[in-house]
Amino acid sequence: MEITVLDIQILKALHREVKEVSNLIAKMTVPYKALQQATKWLDQQEACQLLNVSKRTLQTYRAKGILGATQINRKTYFRLSEVELLMQGERPLKKQKK
């Protein structure tokens, strides 16, 4: 068994530095918090349930450009705002093929 003894001054200095880094990270992420909260993402299952369609129909919407999607590590996400537009009958513009 090993016992490590730290001087209280060293511990307080370490605590101050960790707090400074934490504050710096908080300041750096402030501009992105509003964006993060404004954009709600749905996974494939949630989008299917809201639209009351099958996974295959949802895939067709993606392929035809009716509904945009983002893929992260093989998982597909949809913007809630786009799904709501589709539910209201206001389809987002189709992407033009080059």
How confident is the model over 13-28, as a mean pLDDT?
94
How confident is the model over 45-51, as a mean pLDDT?
94
Encoding tokens for residue 34? 């509003």
pTM for the whole thing? 0.55
How confident is the model over 11-38, as a mean pLDDT?
86
Count of other CB atoms within 10 angstroms of residue 17 = 10
- Report helix, strand or coil for 41: strand
Convert the pLDDT of each residue in 27-42 to its tens digit: 888 877 776 666 788 9
Encoding tokens for residue 10? 């060293």
DSSP lists the bridge partners of residue 71 as: 76
